[in-house]
């Protein structure tokens, strides 16, 4: 991906995040996936989409998965030198707005699984628990797939 494409993706994601959502009255993971990893990869990315059909803001604060030594919430940014870097995401970036959604996608926000027990292989399912600031725990089966 070129730096320009990545910047475009970063600009598009927040716009998508502003619309959508609904009045379902529940907060739920509406999509999740992870790319496969090469052998001996030290870390892997997981992407989530969380839809908030309630009238209260919430926030993604952590993810649990027993395949990882540690999990961090990251954001990918393009620095002045046009190099893509990952950093811990600002807490504000993890808000799931009332009536809206949080979208985590390549070149943007992601869950970072650090210290894999084994490579993620296409076709397998990852068992995740998504923890929200409200205390809600969302259990999610996440496929490893190519997108």
Per CB under 5 A, residues contacting Cu ion are 74, 86, 112
Q: Name the residue with the smallest CB distance to Cu ion.
A: 74
Three-point CA angle 87, 132, 56, nearest 5°: 115
Complex with Cu ion: residue 86 or 131, whichever CB lies closer:
86
CB of 75 to Cu ion, least distance (A): 8
Complex with Cu ion: residue 54 or 110, whichever CB lies closer:
110
CB of 49 to Cu ion, least distance (A): 17
Complex with Cu ion: residue 68 or 112, whichever CB lies closer:
112
CB of 7 to Cu ion, least distance (A): 18
Helix (H, G, I), strand (E, B) or coil at 14: helix
Hey, how many other C-beta atoms are within 10 angstroms of the C-beta on 45? 20
Output the six-digit token pair for 5: 């494409």
Q: Which of 120, 103, 146 is CA-nearest to residue 43?
A: 120
d(CA 97, CA 94): 9
Complex with Cu ion: residue 7 or 86, whichever CB lies closer:
86
CB of 34 to Cu ion, least distance (A): 12
């Amino acid at each position: 991906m070129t730096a320009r494409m990545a910047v475009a993706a970063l600009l598009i994601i927040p716009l998508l995040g502003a619309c959508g959502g609904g009045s379902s009255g529940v907060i739920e993971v509406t999509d999740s996936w992870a790319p496969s990893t090469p052998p001996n990869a030290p870390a892997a990315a997981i992407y989530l989409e969380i839809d908030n059909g309630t009238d209260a803001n919430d926030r993604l604060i952590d993810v649990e998965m027993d395949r990882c030594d540690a999990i961090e919430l990251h954001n990918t940014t393009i620095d002045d030198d046009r190099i893509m870097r990952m950093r811990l995401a600002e807490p504000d970036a993890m808000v799931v707005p009332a009536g809206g959604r949080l979208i985590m996608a390549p070149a943007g926000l992601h869950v970072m699984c650090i210290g894999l027990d084994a490579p993620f292989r296409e076709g397998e399912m990852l068992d995740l628990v998504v923890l929200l600031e409200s205390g809600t725990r969302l259990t999610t089966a996440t496929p490893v797939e190519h997108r």
